[in-house]
Amino acid sequence: MKDFFCENGDVITKITIAAENPTINYTPDFVKAGIIVSVGHSNATYEVAKAAFHKGATFATHLHNAMSPISSGRAMGVVGAVLDSDVYTGIIVDGVHINYGNVRIDKKIKGDKLCIVTDSIAAAGAPPELESFTFVGKTIYIKEGRCYDANGTIAGASITMMESIKNAVEYVEIPLAEAIRMSNLYPARAIGVDDRLGSVEKGKIANLAVFTPNYQVIGTVVNGKWKEN
């Protein structure tokens, strides 16, 4: 599998590996092939996660979710390693996956390395009458805008990026301009495409979303082509 990834580095942007998984030792090879390695879905200790970053991992997948937490002053887990390292990380701002207070703290620590992600699946933007759907062979149920499997475990998100930005502004008290940068410029930097994406500048690809003061998207520009919503 390692060889497959490396041979196709031109079409693979980023992969997530648990820091305690032996595959993390191939990080230098993946990076050499042009693939960004992210630490995530990991129950590693702080020390093991830090070692993964030293090997070349430069991102962490949805901070706080599916990763070992800071459980005491002695056990810092993957979360502690992320906050204590100069790496980018995504964060889900839906008020379900993590408390908004954590987002506020993380923003103070990570600054422009904190990226808004949705982690959304089929429920995002779906009509309210959708009550369930099948995802990777499992039935996922939607209740009050939240996605759960049959065991009650959170199974992805149902939030859109526009809703995420709104939450960042209204509940985390992040200025709108900064919340927008967290959803486009910083992620673009994280995957090395900020030379052509992530901001409105001459010579960059025109991928834009036009929205009202109430956060309603009224149109988009994709590759320079306008489409009304």
Q: What is the pLDDT of residues 202-222, one digit of tens each?
A: 999 999 999 999 999 999 999
Residue 211 neighbours by CB distance under 10 Å: 16
- Annotated domain spans of the chain: 2-120+161-201, 121-158
Beta bridge partners, 92, equal 117
Residue in 84, 112, 119, 149 annotated catalytic = 119
Round to whole Å and give the CA distance between 107 and 77: 19
Mean pLDDT of 101-117: 99
pTM, to two decimals: 0.93
Per CATH, domain 2-120+161-201 is 3.40.50.10420? no
The percent of residues above 90 in pLDDT, for the chain, comes to: 86
Q: Any idea which of 43-57, 151-165, 176-190 has the lowest mean pLDDT?
A: 151-165
pLDDT at residue 152, rounded to an integer: 87
Is 119 known to be catalytic? yes
Question: Strand locations in 40-170, DSSP E?
Answer: 59-60, 88-92, 114-117, 132-135, 138-143, 146-148
